[in-house]
Amino acid sequence: MRLPQFAIFAQGMGAHEFIEFDLRPGVDTAQASQSLGQLEQPAVSAGGVNLVVAYGPELWKRLAPDDVPAGLRPFREVIGLDGHRAPATQHDIWVWISGSSGDVVFEHSRAATAAIADVAAIATEQACFVHRDSRDLLGFIDGTENPPLLEAAPVALVPAGEPGAGGSHVLVMRWIHDLSLFETLPQAEQERVFGRTKIDSVELADGEKPSTAHIARVEIEDPDGQELEIYRRSVPYGTLGEHGLYFVAFSADRERYDRMLARIFGLADGQRDGLTNFTRPVTGAFYFAPPLALLGMKELPIPASERFLQKIPLFAKCTPRQLRFIASSVEWRDFPVGATLCRQGDRGGEFFVIVEGKAEASRDGSLLRTLGTGDFFGEIALIDGGPRTATVTSISPLRCLVVQSQHFRDVLGQNADIAVRILDAVTQRLRSTVGPDSVRARIES
């Protein structure tokens, strides 16, 4: 399987910017391809943000005609029951930038726009935010039915062996809510509209859940009765005058969206989603988010700092792109003989990797281990902010790669894959400290 754009699955970001672009008149395929590659320059994609780039169906067919996934086509207007509709507002490029704060996301969004300004112009832009505990502005938790993170890839990604494998079909729709009207309903009626409880998001029993409830309408099944899932990444947006949900979903199969929209707007069986009485879409577009290899990011050269990172068990399986994220926050430091890099009991905020030289790790005055090239220490204190469990002192001139705590946490936020790998590596390291006959001292400080 080709590697996907991992930011599709990245969690924990509180600020989001979604930008749609149209190609400028007269831009040919070669010019577009070369310029769009600038979206991967560090000013756009590095420095604590997540980036997803997707292309409209017609543009993707021009850029990669041999990797067009089955069913890829532009969004078509949906004309539903009772005058309800979903307009088609297809554009050429869709960019999603997310981060921990709005200022950082804003800066990188400006950089993205500038990077492709010669070939593309902004068509729409929407800043979004996370509301409370991932709730829609209507007060209900959004994305409850998402598959667990470790099971999301088969739901969201085109399977191996198919054109576009490792990429994802994207559906983007901006919905405007009528909060005032919805808030006139008693909570029990609001729950019947959604089909689940408002406070703890428990699905209503079949006898209590109307057939027009939202969760009843968005659930689709294959001929054998198995649910066909999509991976939702929607977030709220708004001003006091206009507010709602920026709906984003990723799927291995575009036709799942057709079936879902038909059920929402009453075209499948004559029953319309009751939630459409309180919200309406004003945009609709399909995009394809290609895998990393098709974005030209797979064969990046690996500089020296990244090669050393790749030797560390925590990062040994990281892709060149992931290593680049990490390396952008690395500092090179030199220490003389006898320097104390960290002291037992002190609060820790740095992660060290020895590039050249040797050091000793000790606890309570007793030597634990001699450390050399490629050894690392400080990851546990870096993750939890706790005190150092050992003192590390250089016994020769020492050169290290150092990652500050705040940058390391940005690295964890880059994508879920890095976080899972780090958790797995730290777990293995902790287990390895326990022998069959005794508990060996840990040197993680």
Known catalytic residues are 142
Instruction: Please state, in angstroms and rounded to a whole number, the distance separating the CA atoms of residues 103 and 371.
Output: 41
Helices 416-432 and 405-414: angle between axes, nearest 10 degrees: 120
Instruction: Please state, in angstroms and rounded to a whole number, the distance separating the CA atoms of residues 76 and 79.
Output: 10
Instruction: Please state, in angstroms and rounded to a whole number, the distance separating the CA atoms of residues 170 and 184.
Output: 34
**How wide is the angle at C-alpha 194 spanned by C-alphas 189 and 199, nearest 5°?**
80
Name the percent of the chain in helix, strand, coil, to the closest 5. 30, 25, 40
DSSP state, residue 277: G
Instruction: Please state, in angstroms and rounded to a whole number, the distance separating the CA atoms of residues 418 and 330.
Output: 16
392 contacts 341 by C-beta, under 8 angstroms: yes
Q: Dihedral, CA atoms, 294, 150, 309, 353, nearest 10 degrees?
A: 160
14 contacts 49 by C-beta, under 8 angstroms: no
The full 3-state SS of 85-118, as one line of letters, equals EECCCCCCEEEEEEECCHHHHHHHHHHHHHHCCC
DSSP letters, 42-94, are HHHH-SSEEEEEEE-HHHHHHH-GGGPPTT------EE-GGG-EE-----SEE
Token pair 């947006």 is at which residue?
237
